[in-house]
Amino acid sequence: MSQALLRSRSQVPGGRGPVWLRVTPLAVRIASVAVGIVVWELFGRSLRSAIFTYPSAIARAFFDLVHNGELQFYLSSSIVVLGLGLALAIAVGIPIGILMGRMAAVEHVLDPYINALYATPLVAVIPLVVLWLGFQVKAKAALVFLFCVFPILLNTYQGVKNTDARLVEVARSFCSAEWRLWRDLVLPSAVPFILAGIRLAIGRGLVGMVVAEFYTSISGLGYMIVQYANTFRMDRLFVPIVVLMILGVGLTGVLRALERRIAPWLHAAHEE
């Protein structure tokens, strides 16, 4: 009896392992990142290579670029481009995805064009976009839009198509108007797909933003990467890369918080 009691005290509630393993997921993530940074620092210092760097050198370069205002200048340009392209992709992709999911005629008309454009490597159309729209913000925002719109549109379309047909029949049996059906059933059912599409679009939008800045005007984080790569200043080269990483993680975190607010039933279902 005493052995069973002792064994139960050494276990996590629910029988999930010893007490010393009771650590939160956040603590595990922080520890993992800390270990990775330490290993990177030690390896970089021991390597002593001109084409390699380490976290402390990147941190010094970061503060230098912030102090002289260079990072803020290029970052603001990139954020404007990303914001314009992503906002336009959301404004266009969600309505078209809903229309394609609910109206067969719209789906049949647009499906060949969307499939063709989605299958086309977007890098190949950059020279064409630059010729049409020039080298300034308009062209870069258009390229970000092209990178972002298809994940949003296709995920919205799938979300609408996956609406439970039985619920649709119940709504129709109560003589629900089409617009109320969209508002009360179709859109709430499609919310997880729409948010997943926007998450995918954030990553693709960052890629599109950097690629657009490689090929267009001299501005943005993409220009910083090219500039410092050409001069082999690896510590400064990693600064915009790390900023892009933080920007992507931050935007995804904001989207997850928004998801908890506008679709709390999803997290409630996961917790159950």
Of 29, 57, 30, 25, residue with least CA distance to 43:
57
Supply 141's token pair: 């925002």
- The predicted pLDDT at position 89 comes to 94
The 10s digit of each residue's pLDDT in 13-47 is 444 555 445 678 778 888 888 898 899 888 888 87
Residue % of the chain over a pLDDT of 70: 79
pLDDT at 5 over 50: no
> Is 235 in contact with 57 (CB distance < 8 Å)?
yes
Instruction: Give the integer Cα–Cα distance in Å for 179 and 6.
Output: 62
- The per-residue pLDDT of the chain, averaged, comes to 80
- The predicted pLDDT at position 18 comes to 54
Instruction: Give the integer Cα–Cα distance in Å for 139 and 127.
Output: 10
The 10s digit of each residue's pLDDT in 51-100 is 788 888 889 999 999 998 888 988 988 899 999 999 999 999 999 998 88
- The predicted pLDDT at position 165 comes to 66
Name the band, by pLDDT with cuts 50, 70 and 90, for residue 214: confident
The 10s digit of each residue's pLDDT in 224-255 is 888 888 888 888 889 999 999 999 888 888 88
Burial 113-135 (b: 16+ CB within 10 A, else e): ebeeeeeeebeeebeebbeebee
Residues 122/126/128/131 CA torsion (nearest 10 deg): 160
| More confident of the two residues 183 and 131 | 131
pLDDT at 175 over 70: no
- The predicted pLDDT at position 176 comes to 65
- The predicted pLDDT at position 3 comes to 53
User: If you average pLDDT over residues 127-135, what whole number do you get?
Assistant: 81
pTM: 0.78
The 10s digit of each residue's pLDDT in 143-168 is 899 999 999 999 998 888 877 667 66
pLDDT at 263 over 80: no
The 10s digit of each residue's pLDDT in 105-120 is 888 888 888 888 888 8
- The predicted pLDDT at position 169 comes to 66
Supply 41's token pair: 């620092």
